[in-house]
Structure 1
Amino acid sequence: MADRMRIAIAAGGTAGHVNPALALAECLRDRGHEVRFFGEERRLEGRLVPEAGFDFFPVNVTGFDRQHPWTLVTALGHLAHEERRIARAFRAEPALKPDVAIGFGAYVELPLLRAAKRLKIPIALHEQNSVPGLANKQSARDAALIAIGHPSVADVFRRAGAREGVIHFTGNPVRRQVLEGSRVRGRTALAVPEDGTLLVVFGGSLGAHHLNTRMASLKRDLLAIPGLHVLHATGADDLEATREALALTPTEAARYRVQGYIDDMGDVLAAADLVLSRAGASSIAEIAALAVPAVLVPYPFATADHQTTNAHTLVDAGAAVMFADADIDSPAFADELLGLLRDPARRARMREASAGLGQAQAAERLADELECLV
């Protein structure tokens, strides 16, 4: 193990940024390193980071809204102020000064990384998505390490000025609570027998209305499959409308569970025989880490269609099939979904292909790279 290090992590805004950062932090803590997060108290990181037991340094920044150019002045003012404040804190308290600072792509990373550059502290980046965000592209020139979750983004960072040899593919870290998911525990909680088949449907934290309506139209065909159970997470905003569309009888509800979101994703994925979902970076990482066969429907309005690129990570490996959102009302989609649910041998081949991607080791690979910087 490397000597004990101090690592500063900036991640914020969404679960897609915060959860991979927490997965890395858990791995680093297990190796005996000291980890401190930098983020906004009012955002998701302000709750999740303290809950996970990590020190939290509050940062106050505002993003730039392209539709309102005058917000740039306020954004730059906050950025400069927070950069100076962090740098002063590092100078005043040597125990706070990190050996390396890593950003996970959100705007909140900029004051930390710029303060680190000012004090000649090595800078690292992690990019979860197949289309890098502006903050990471802005920081690429100064990074001693750029860890990526998708090989396709390497060229983007080279064009952004990344130095030769700093880009490394690590995959997207997945939190231990997901990696340690239990099939037995998940099936017990969902009342799914071991010889049953479990389909898990979710559309990300906000749900996916088109997926929800299509599932309602397929209810009879799905429940006609002997032994099939469905867990359908609709997203909080679409829960009541989906319940009305499904109109489940008590008998149907015994095999078709509808809820707004999934809390225990590790146990649920471990229990699943097939997943139907969108293709956000975190969802892809978790599905691959648990090696669950998947039918992926990328969100059609994602920036630069990056969810389609995300999905190809699994599709090209033979671990998933993909349908465009516009095509899920077709008979071909129904035939493929229902066919997979009836074909355990094909699902077993997909599961083996997914396991071969090694996604479960992403946090360890990223921790290795950070240790090499110091």
Structure 2
Amino acid sequence: MSGPVNGPVSVVLAGGGTGGHIEPMLALADALRRRGAEGGVRITCLGTARGLETRLVPARGYDLRLIPPVPLPRKPTLDLLRVPGRVRRSVAETRSLLRELDADVVVGFGGYVALPAYLAARRERVPIVVHEQNALPGLANRIGARLAARVAVTTPGTPLHGGAHVGMPLRTTISTLDRGSRRAEARAVFGLDADRPTLLVFGGSQGAASLNRAAVGAAEALTAAGVQVLHARGPKNTDVEVPPRSAGQAPYVLVDYLERMDLAYAAADLALCRAGAVTVAELSAVGLPAAFVPLPIGNGEQRRNALPVVEAGGGLLVEDADLSPSWIQQQIVPLVTDPAALAGYAARAAATGAPDADERLADIVLEVAGR
């Protein structure tokens, strides 16, 4: 199946469910849209009615088509018996969509939207490109990689069939960020002092209780050392507070959520954060060193995400159980108050980044589509 030789390239993107799938999908969509500014690329996103894509995709100006989800149980349960029927239904509906859209290529980012898209594309003989965000691939992408024309991975050494290191597609507000030139503006936006060493604390969009406890517990030690803090506690964690700072003390700014991550990164000298794939990729791309605290549940993928940066000397790694106010006082305070050490960490973090991953993946997609 393919569109007219001189018509627009029809690209179908499958990456619904979580922000970790949707954000790189939309970054690729933006790169493709820049390539096809005069109508050369038609972009359609696949999703389900229950994912974040129902809000995020239309907000970025892209067409969203819904298919039935195929959640895959992590453990053998009775629900596993229902999977084949769900797969058949979803694949059938997705095949109809691919024919309607005259798809030239399907690009999948994993998760329960990608699996039926891969199987439908195989049936319709539409070429497949797979992008894996995490250092440890999920089931959908392990299957998709076996069917794909090209496979791109974020982290070198990701165990995925045919995987080539491309990096994580990122928003241009992040990938083109010059932290140094935006620092004064960013600190002013958040009510921070212009010249103090600055720690950024965040635990993802919902916050993280262990990061909140440790950072607040270390507030006095940090600010007494002249370190100011920008701390996103999470919108549901309004009970997280620090005592008011007196005049002349370093600020400790608590916010529920950071709408402008680019300005937060520009304001900071060091981050204390989780190690989700998008977070690690963004910090590397902008050259912001971090102390990574991997999520202590799941399959250990967050630790694997952070390891290449940490092993390159661009960050620290601390297990969630070991994070405490005293760890922050002993490890963070000496680093964030040492400009020379910070500069070395920042340079090594940047060396692991791939700010052009969106353009590199767009090249692959258009090549596979035959354009």
TM-score (normalised: structure 1): 0.88
> How far is 1:270 from its partner?
1.8
Partner amino acid for 1:130? A
- Tell me the CA shift for residue 202 of structure 1: 0.7
Alignment of 1:35 onto 2:34:
no
Q: Which amino acid aligns with 1:325?
A: D
Query: Can you list the C-alpha shifts for 1:296-331, whole angstroms capped at 9, x where unaligned?
Result: 11122231x221111112111211111122222374
Deviates more, 1:29-38 or 1:66-75: 66-75
Kept in 1, the 8 Å contact 2:214–2:325? The answer is no
Pairwise CA distance, 1:336 = 1.5
SS of 2:167's partner is coil
Residue 152 of structure 1: how far off its partner (Å): 2.5
Match of 2:367 in 1: 372
Runs (4+) of structure 1 exceeding 6 A deviation are none
Secondary structure at the aligned position of 1:238 is classed as coil
| Contact 2:269–2:342 (8 Å) recurs in 1 | yes
The equivalent position to 2:103 in structure 1, one of 78, 98, 119, is 98
What secondary structure is seen at the aligned counterpart in 1 of 2:107?
Answer: strand
DSSP-derived class of the 1:24 partner: helix
Partner of 2:233: 234
Match of 2:330 among 327, 330, 335: 335
Q: Which runs of 5+ in 2 are unaligned?
A: 1-5
Q: 1:88 to 1:217 in 2, by over 3 A?
A: closer
Structure 1 residue corresponding to 2:124, chosen from 109, 119, 126: 119
Amino acid in structure 2 at the alignment position of 1:352: A
1:48 is matched with which residue: 38, 46, 56? 56
Return the offset for 1:78: 2.8
Give the structure 2 partner of residue 84 of structure 1. 92
| Deviates further, 200-209 or 59-68 | 59-68
User: How many residues of Structure 1 are paired with residues of Structure 2 in the alignment?
Assistant: 356
Offset of residue 178 of structure 1? 2.6
CA distance in 2, matches of 1:67, 1:372: 38
- The amino acid that maps onto 1:125 is V
- Report the CA distance between 1:167 and its aligned residue: 2.1
1:4-44 Cα deviation digits (max 9, x unpaired)? 52211001111111101111111111111221100013310
Q: Cα offset for 1:73?
A: 4.1
Q: 1:230 to 1:333 in 2, by over 3 A?
A: closer
Q: How does 1:125-204 map to 2 (within 5 A)?
A: 125-153=130-158, 156-157=159-160, 162=161, 166-181=162-177, 182-204=182-204
Q: Is the 8 A contact 1:198 1:229 kept in 2?
A: yes
Distance apart, 1:266 and its partner CA: 1.3
* TM-score, with length taken from structure 2: 0.89
The AA in structure 2 aligned to 1:235 is: G
Q: 1:330 to 1:52 in 2, by over 3 A?
A: closer
Moved more, 347-356 or 191-200: 191-200
The residue type paired with residue 198 of structure 2 is: L
- 1:309 aligned residue: 304
* Residues 105 and 133, structure 1, Cα contact 8 Å, conserved in 2: yes
Amino acid of the residue matched to residue 236 of structure 1? Answer: P
Q: Which residue of 2 aligns with 1:262?
A: 258
